[in-house]
Structure 1
């Protein structure tokens, strides 16, 4: 059976979706791995999304299936992505995770691989605190946590503004969402997918 890696994201303007696609691409490059991209349901009313100027952006990933928290147990690796809201995950991702109590009770995620990625409006907008705060979910579920190792040379790029941390891939979107993920950031995202997938393959074989 193939090793399954789920990439589950919440995105407002599409930046996190771009990272999710790159992460899944990296995971699929590992032999024996299947990776699907799923999205967390939007909880804001359409009129609010319109006032935020996100209606058109969200059409780009409207075709992505909605993630069901109960199906997390089917995956060998789970990679969660969301934008940063004041240094933490937004309410949409929190609501999704709050619906996993049954998995915690049954221990269904124990021993699986968990990882996270994010975006912020500015270079110092709380990327690392968001990724670290999301790791508490993995700890409580008894999961093995993976980030991005420093063998990924793009982590130490100094000639351009870039996201990317050892805790997970990230991008800097700009205060108006005008900046899209750079090739350096996408390379880090793909590397994260590869890293998580390789660990998931090893753990699934035991």
Structure 2
């Protein structure tokens, strides 16, 4: 049975929702799944003034626990077409793991949210995936076996590189059912892959 970590940062809750859907998909494939978040780096007074979602139930992860998992799925919102600073700060602390190859061969994946359809979903996914490749991980994305990402009937996130959602300029849009289906699908694929590799 694969052990999967869904590791995320979420400012307003959109990525948190995707993280839980990914976890649901991984559990459906028989994996043991933990959902954890990275520490907030914005001062609390500033975060509260900006209405950050500070009541998230997921525990805060530490870098040292990452080698305990067979698969790590990383998600955060887009900031100027790249990963949010909170996640970058956390991943910047993995140098010791990189130096000893502690994550070599483990399965990785990425997911994100943007305000708009063209706000940098794919570049943000790649900014996460680049880190995972440097850590020696095997990447599983969101292939077109999730056909919902090809619909022309509604606005929808998703890319071959990972699950995504579109939040709206004021955060007014929550992940759609098609986007949640994509997240579950990616979670299932990653858990299945990890199970095959670590059986």
Shift in Å at residue 5 of structure 1?
A: 0.7
1:66 aligns with 2:60: yes
CA deviations over 1:63-99 (Å, ceiling 9, x no partner): 2110111111000000000000000011100110011
Q: Secondary structure at the match of 2:127?
A: helix
Report how far residue 3 of structure 1 moved: 1.1
For the residue of structure 2 that corresponds to 1:5, the secondary structure is strand
Structure 1: runs of 5 or more not aligned: none
Residue 28 of structure 1 pairs with residue 27 of structure 2: yes
Question: How many angstroms apart in 1 are the aligned matches of 2:193 and 2:40?
Answer: 31
**Out of 67, 72, 76, which is 1:82 matched to?**
76
- In the other structure, the counterpart of 2:50 is 52
| Match among 109, 115, 120 for residue 109 of structure 2 | 115
Query: How far apart in 2 are the matches of 1:174 and 1:118?
Result: 13
CA distance in 2, matches of 1:179, 1:27: 25
TM-score by length of 1: 0.94
State how 1:126-137 maps to structure 2 within 5 Å.
126-137=120-131
Q: Distance in 2 between matches of 1:80 and 1:38?
A: 10
Equivalence map 1:124-163=2 (5 Å):
124-163=118-157
Q: TM-score, normalised by structure 2?
A: 0.98
- 2: CA distance, partners of 1:53 / 1:70: 30
Alignment RMSD (CA, Å): 0.8
Q: How far 1:139 moved relative to its partner?
A: 1.3
Structural mapping, 1:191-202, within 5 Å: 191-202=185-196
Distance 2:123 2:83 in 1: 9
1:42 — aligned with what? 40
Q: How many residues align?
A: 199
Does structure 1 residue 14 correspond to structure 2 residue 8? no
